[in-house]
Amino acid sequence: EVVHEHLAQLVEGWGAQHLGKTNLSCVGAVVGATYPEEMKYLRTLMPHIPFLIPGYGAQGGTAEDVKYGFIPDGTGAIVNASRSIIYASGKKDWQEAAKMATAKMAEELLGALR
């Protein structure tokens, strides 16, 4: 058993004591976007645990990568993108560029979950 498997089993065990109406726990796990196969496996070990998924966008994670962090109903994950949105433009149009980058991210995620 490798460390991440052991930790996943611990987290799922802790979370099982705190399931909400959605069958998700208030205990979460951080799972990087740039390791989609590991994320897919960790989701099987932690079906009740919400995932915070950093690494989308500038760090190389894609919508196809992070889709494995969601549960079948399309919930269970929060995907974080910072640089790709905050620094979408270094010009005066930064607000519009950030808005467009956010909309593009949402569209990509929804497309991957369909």
- Domain count along the chain: 1
Structure confidence by residue, pLDDT tens digits, 15-53: 999 998 999 999 999 999 999 999 999 999 999 999 999
pLDDT in tens, 43-72: 999 999 999 999 999 899 999 999 999 999
Buried b (16+ CB within 10 A) or exposed e, 33-51: bbbbeebeebbebbebbbb
The kind and range of the H/E element at 77 are strand 77-79
What pLDDT is attached to residue 45? 97
d(CA 30, CA 12): 13
Amino acid at 23: N
User: What DSSP state is assigned to residue 53?
Assistant: E
Range of the domain at 76: 3-113
CATH of the domain at 63: 3.20.20.70
